[in-house]
Amino acid sequence: MPEQATTTPSAETIYRFGPYSLYPARRLLTAGQPIDLRGRALDLLLALVERAGAVLGRAELESRVWPGLHVGENNLRVQMANLRRALGQDGDDGPYVGTVPGQGYRFVAHVLKEGAGKAPPSSPAFAAFALSRQLARPLGRDDTITTLAARLGRQRLLTVAGAGGMGKTTVALAVAAAVAGRYPDGVALVDLSTMGEGDLVPATVAARLAPHIQAANPVPALLAFLKPRRMLLVLDSCEPVIAAAAALADTLLAGAPGLDILATSREPLGLAREQVHRLAPLVVPIRAEGLGARQALAHSAVQLFAARMAAVSGGALTDAEAPAAAEICQRLDGIPLGLELAAGQVAAYGIAGVARRLDDRLGLLVRGRRTAPPRHQTLRAAFDWSYALLSGAQRAALNRLSVFVGGFDAAAAMAVVPPADMGGEGTSGHVVDDLVAKSLVLADRRGAEVRYRLLDTVRAYAREWLEASGLGAETRAAHAAHYLRLFQAILPAWAARPADEMLLRHGADLDNIREGLDWFFGEAGDGGIGKGRALVLAVAPLWKCQSLWAECQRWTARALTAPQPFADDRQSLDLHVLQAAAMTVTGAEPPPQVIRMWAAVLAAAAALGDQNARQQAQVGLYSIYFDQGNVRQALDLAAAMRIEAMNGGDRFALAAAERMVGAAFHVLGDQTAARHHTEAALGLAEGGPATGQRIRFQLDQQIAARSTLAGMLWLQGNVRQGMEQLRRCMEQAAAMDHAYTSCLVLGQSACPLAMLTGDWEAARRHNDQLLTLADRHGLMIWQPWARCLDLILRLKFAGEGITPPMLDDLRGRMAALGDVSHPRYGVLVREAALALARAGDLAGGLAMVEAALSRAQANQEGWAQPELMRLRGEMLVRLGEGEAAEALYRQALAMADGQGTLSWQLRLGISLARRQIRQGGATDAADLLSGFFRRFDAGPPTPELDIANAVLGHLRGRAAPDAVLDGPAGPAGGALAA
């Protein structure tokens, strides 16, 4: 039964069962990737899962799924069949939905309910992983699975070792499924069987666990991701890269205490902490006269063979067939893979025929490979024998299909398997279906369209035959050409169709796209360069939607540095736009170099009359200038783009320009103009599906505008509205799952506002997410900012445990930022200076504030100046310069009044009141503070209002605590929000 809890509005409820995660609020079912389940079938699943274990009758389900409607008797059965098909369940009884005759239906799987009554996890998009569904029930391994499941957890590294084809992966998946409930953060499977270089192991593991890690060395980001989690990592087929797999496993286990690892390999990893279980072959019967089916089926090898044979041919093992079945199991040494292959041929040749062919083929190949280990002889014999039983067309198709990396669809298969290969045996589609029936190609029918894949061992074997045939280059060329045609054909759809729909259909093609790009820019020679450039441009929307900007930059660099001429000037311009955008978003290159690139784009766009390229350059230059503190220059660019977009009737470009103008005015200190333009941007960007147009300028304009508006409203004293806008934009960003947009929301608004309002737990949560995303995507533009915030937050929570090295680290990080920082640097320097002051380095904190104030004045960043001036005054008070401090407060009050920044005015009123309380004379602070207090629209109590109320009470005769009167830089620590 699900765990009972009270759901709070801020927590997303998630139901987990088997490999699946169900998100009711988003109407989304996932198992590593979204499952295509919608409409009534999804409603049916929600009803069953919410009352897991209970029997729901037909009337109750129909009232839930078809409220207020009378439906036919067949409707419920049809939708139930759709649901079971999506879950991979066959028949009325299975691991998820059972039929109770005469009563109704019951959800039988164990359901874990998460998210109710507690804050959502820090990285909801990456917190859980789906265990790959087992392709076959692991017959004959029950005792082994039970033993290993009991040991896992007590032993953090458990390796299942054995010969190739022994069923190590099948056993590991069964063990993982048995223990999945122990791991709240999920089970992840990483297949290393096709790895050729040990250096790629960390990146491969990172790609599986956190798909967007793009750093050159992913291990630190991977450790940071795993450290807070309790999860199981299954490293499958480690033997090709045994040393690298062992080194990574040792590092991860040392740095992530909640991680357990289950590995499979032909040999142990060789680590001190490793526990090894050697997987023996399945038990085979001894040949004996009169062996019947019952006696044969008492042996696990025959059980497996018979079960797979029945699935293919539909018949059960008979007494007459038992001796031949026993012989096949003996000749294949009880190796599960060989048994699977042999069973797949029974329908065509019968058991006796399979036994005869197996005997001939196996004997020949063993004699030809005397130097190979016995397990390799047996496995290759099984593969060679199975291959020899295929028809010519089936062999040709299997060879050709080995070019695919990961999954592929029917259209892709037909693109690489030409009709000439079929030899009159039918279409390539028919032959692929034959290979599916023979278990050489796997078919996943759970989605809207069937996806195929080859087991990696089958793929490697067939690839050898493909290369030996001399058709490898031809097939790779056809493979790459197919994905070029496909992505060129769908290019317009990225701007018209919902982004999540496009990602669901085409996101799984990334591995094959990389293979195609490798071909075009590598073996294809000079003739492939032009096609490679075309594929880079065609795939750009997919990279944008998945925030794979570091990968985008690598491929565009390769496309631009190739010596061959471009197809035309427009192709050259488009590639330069794409590379400059990637450099801007990632921050991988120095700003002057990126500015030069955008300037070249502007010049080329003018020569070709390309308005979109011109707008992209304007946005790119704006971003660089804005982040460098050249806000006036950024504003001029945005204002020019706004006029051009208005004249051209380009709504999306106008939304971007209005947002940029508003953000610039916000930082300059003109909050009235800032709010006007930002609300205009929000109005233009709202509405319609989240298509590729929404991120035409690298991020979602609606979410970005709402994020900026939240800060403006807070500054103006409309705290209730500001926090509501922040909540909405964070929800939208989480639902969109676009890393660059999420980084902007977290780094520009969520974390700074949490710090300014004294919500330190929220600040830490938001910054953890920012760090994770910045590291995973290689977004170096956010990494220094996030790491400084992380250090400040650690100092905040360290209390008396602050050490001199921690402070030295803070000084070094702040100095490294220099002028290469975000305009919200004012928030960062405020907290860093206060940390130094509270730790006893008042002079160092004051110097940091004064440097930031000078920078803000030089760059005309007026928005934070009143707060920096106030903070400087608080520190001057500690140095005995009270009169200078009061003069600063009054100067800052006048500036804040001109800006309409009521939050700064309230804080300045508090500081002025503190100063006058210390003086003990007549005051005007009480009237000022009371006026600010009344104008504040705070909603729930905020630290500023609590402190203001306490100070006003003190002025009226009710003594306030020392921490309130002390100020943020005082010896009592003060209240940091005021």
Res 260 pLDDT > 70: yes
Query: Which class for 366: exposed (0-12), middle (13-18), buried (19 or more C-beta within 10 A)?
Result: middle
State the average pLDDT for the chain: 82
- Give the C-alpha separation, 655 to 658, whole Å: 5
Nearby residues of 643 by Cβ (< 8 Å), 6 or more positions away:
none
389 vs 638 pLDDT, higher one: 638
Amino acid, single-letter form, for residue 793? L
Residue 303 binned pLDDT confidence (cut-offs 50, 70, 90) = confident
- Segment 466-493 shows an average pLDDT of 95
What's the pLDDT at 613?
Answer: 93
398-410 pLDDT tens trace:
999 999 988 899 9
What's the pLDDT at 824?
Answer: 67
- Segment 238-249 shows an average pLDDT of 90
Integer angstrom CA distances of residue 59 from 100, 618, 648: 14, 60, 57
Res 309 pLDDT > 60: yes
Give 490's strand partners. Answer: none
Integer angstrom CA distances of residue 818 from 758, 813, 814, 836: 26, 9, 7, 18
Beta-carbon neighbour count of residue 150 at 10 Å?
13
Q: To the nearest whole percent, how much of the chain has pLDDT over 90?
A: 30
What's the pLDDT at 456?
Answer: 62
Whether 773 contacts 734, CB under 8 Å: no
Amino acid, single-letter form, for residue 956? R
- Segment 694-701 shows an average pLDDT of 86
Whether 284 contacts 258, CB under 8 Å: no
**CATH hierarchy code of domain 392-470:** 1.10.10.10
- Segment 460-466 shows an average pLDDT of 85
231: three-class secondary structure by DSSP: strand
The architecture in CATH of the region 124-278 reads 3-Layer(aba) Sandwich (3.40)
Res 588 pLDDT > 80: no
Using DSSP bridges, classify how beta strands 442-444 and 451-453 pair: parallel, antiparallel or unpaired: antiparallel
- Give the C-alpha separation, 490 to 494, whole Å: 7
* Among 742, 749, 793, residue whose Cα is nearest residue 769: 742
User: Domain ranges in the chain?
Assistant: 14-114, 124-278, 293-388, 392-470, 802-966
**Residue entry with tokens 């018979």:** 306
Query: Domain spanning 14-114: which CATH class is it, in words?
Result: mainly alpha
- Segment 22-33 shows an average pLDDT of 77
Q: For the sheet containing 20-23, what is the strand order?
A: 28-30, 20-23, 14-17, 112-114
Provide, for the chain, the percentages of residues in helix, strand and coil under a 3-state DSSP scheme, each rounded to the nearest 5. 65, 5, 30
Fold of 802-966: 1.25.40
What's the pLDDT at 457?
Answer: 61
Residue 59 binned pLDDT confidence (cut-offs 50, 70, 90) = confident
Whether 93 contacts 99, CB under 8 Å: yes
- Segment 73-86 shows an average pLDDT of 84
Query: Which class for 437: exposed (0-12), middle (13-18), buried (19 or more C-beta within 10 A)?
Result: middle
* Among 86, 885, 901, 122, residue whose Cα is nearest residue 445: 86
- Segment 765-777 shows an average pLDDT of 88
- Give the C-alpha separation, 657 to 640, whole Å: 9
**Residue entry with tokens 């299975």:** 94
* From 384-388, 584-588, 661-665, 886-890, the region with the lowest mean pLDDT: 384-388
Structure token pair of residue 231: 């999860």
- Segment 575-584 shows an average pLDDT of 91
What's the pLDDT at 976?
Answer: 37
Res 534 pLDDT > 50: yes
Write down the pTM of the prediction.
Answer: 0.65
- Give the C-alpha separation, 103 to 118, whole Å: 36
What's the pLDDT at 766?
Answer: 92
What's the pLDDT at 803?
Answer: 81
Same fold flag, 14-114 and 392-470 = yes
Residue 225 binned pLDDT confidence (cut-offs 50, 70, 90) = confident
124-145 pLDDT tens trace:
222 233 444 444 457 788 889 9
What's the pLDDT at 127?
Answer: 28
What's the pLDDT at 663?
Answer: 93
* From 334-343, 546-555, 712-721, 911-920, the region with the lowest mean pLDDT: 334-343
Distance of CA 907 to the CA centre of its chain: 40
Res 709 pLDDT > 90: yes
- Segment 862-885 shows an average pLDDT of 90
- Segment 366-382 shows an average pLDDT of 40
- Segment 85-102 shows an average pLDDT of 82
What's the pLDDT at 818?
Answer: 65
What's the pLDDT at 345?
Answer: 75
Amino acid, single-letter form, for residue 171? V
- Segment 378-388 shows an average pLDDT of 59
| Cα dihedral across residues 287, 292, 295, 297: positive or negative | positive
Give 444's strand partners. Answer: 451
Res 424 pLDDT > 80: no
- Give the C-alpha separation, 500 to 487, whole Å: 16
- Segment 167-183 shows an average pLDDT of 86
What's the pLDDT at 249?
Answer: 96
Res 784 pLDDT > 90: no
Residue 386 binned pLDDT confidence (cut-offs 50, 70, 90) = low
Res 605 pLDDT > 90: yes
